[in-house]
Amino acid sequence: MKAMNRYIRKTARLMLCLLTSAATLASCIYEDEVPCPVELRFVYDYNMEFADAFPHRVRDLQLYIFGQDGTLLDTRRATAPDGGFGETYRMNLQDLPAGTYTFLAWATDNAEAATKAYAFEPITTTRAALADLGLGIHPDAAEYCDLTLPDLWHGLLRDFTITGQEPAQATIHLVQDVKRFRVMLQRADGQRLATADYAFSITADNARLDYDNSILPSNAPTIYTPYSLEEANVANGRTTTGSLHALVGELNTLRLDATAPARFRVSHTAEGRDLFDLDLIHYLELMRLDRHADMPLQEYLDRENTWNVIFVIGGDAGSEHLLSIQINQWIMVFNETEL
């Protein structure tokens, strides 16, 4: 029995030693080695593929570091090598002292273009605060914007605590804020259309984004016009010539708000009248795929970044009207009185 008691006591002491060693390792105390890892991972899977595209899409990353009082303490910048950041990229923040932080990330796929297209909100205090780090389209283009906006991602992480005694690791999830539309306008009879005769535009009050990625109201909405517009022949077996003539344009806008108005307008400039003026958000919601029908509308607008839109018009000169609209895979046909 005494031998058994000695065995139990020795086993208990051994287990205590093992637990103590494990706790020491978990506490990350490396007196003679490197300090505890402090690092951030960045993920962009808030898209319609539900897959992380950060490693190959993002090229330039700017991180703003705020203290517990919301004051800007420091910044970090990372630029991807050719091919992107890769799957294993982590931003090293080991030099930050113990404390609790908030991180704001703005990222892009083209840093040079971003400096020309975007500008931060004016800072009116001597020390920048979190609320000062809103971003928007450069004021020179905020009223009428025909720029090719580089991709823009936003991410925010609050209450990141560094103790210095254990690893501190977290993930910042990014949201893509640039929405692109590739638009085709064609007549049902295939007649030629001239770029000088038609104008496309999206009107929305969304040129300024706050630090939390909400939309800041402006004094006037922004009118987005195509950065590319050309005449093209589109193959179509229904015509005797085998093709339809069309106008093909591309335009973009910043983040769309499910609760704020956005209008898509096509006008006949030669006649000085609108062919149609549509509630863009309504039609994007109406014509999304069935498998996304249960997704909240704002989530859908944030996840989807590209829409292909085809407008087909008919009628004689001076009385042209919209016959159908196709957004991605869905087509809607109108009667003349439905618009």
- Which residues are bridge partners to 313 per DSSP? 187, 322
Q: Which two tokens stand for residue 189?
A: 């009879």
- Alpha-carbon Rg for the chain, nearest whole angstrom, is 27
Place of tokens 């500008």: 119
CB 176 within 8 A of CB 45: no
pLDDT at 174 over 90: yes
Question: Residues with Cβ < 8 Å from 63, sequence gap 6 or more?
Answer: 40, 75, 76, 77, 78, 91, 103, 104, 105
pLDDT at 95 over 70: yes
Question: Residues with Cβ < 8 Å from 255, sequence gap 6 or more?
Answer: 175, 177, 179, 206, 209, 213, 215, 301, 302
Following DSSP, what letter does each residue of 159-219 receive, concatenated?
A: EEEE-SSS-EEEEEEPEE--EEEEEEEEETT-----GGGEEEEEEES-SEE-TTSPEEP-S
- pLDDT-based confidence at residue 103 (cuts at 50, 70, 90): very high
Q: What is the pLDDT of residue 4?
A: 39
Rounded CA-CA distance 34/42 in Å is 23
DSSP assigned state of 93: -
Q: What is the pLDDT of residue 319?
A: 82
Q: What is the pLDDT of residue 236?
A: 58
Residue range 198-225, pLDDT digits in tens: 999 999 999 999 999 999 999 899 999 9
Mean pLDDT of the chain: 87
Rounded CA-CA distance 199/78 in Å is 40
Tell me which residue of 21, 24, 28 sits closest to 169, measured CA to CA: 28
Predicted model pTM: 0.86
Q: What is the pLDDT of residue 239?
A: 43
CB 174 within 8 A of CB 42: yes
Q: What is the pLDDT of residue 18?
A: 40
pLDDT at 75 over 90: yes
pLDDT at 2 over 60: no
- Name the percent of the chain lying above pLDDT 90: 71
**Chain center to CA of 180:** 11
Residue range 35-61, pLDDT digits in tens: 789 999 999 999 999 999 999 999 999
Tell me which residue of 156, 35, 41 sits closest to 96, measured CA to CA: 35
Q: Which two tokens stand for residue 79?
A: 């630029």
86: left (phi over 0), alpha (psi -120 to 50) or beta: left
Domains delineated in the chain: 38-176 (2.60.40.2100), 179-338 (2.60.40.2090)
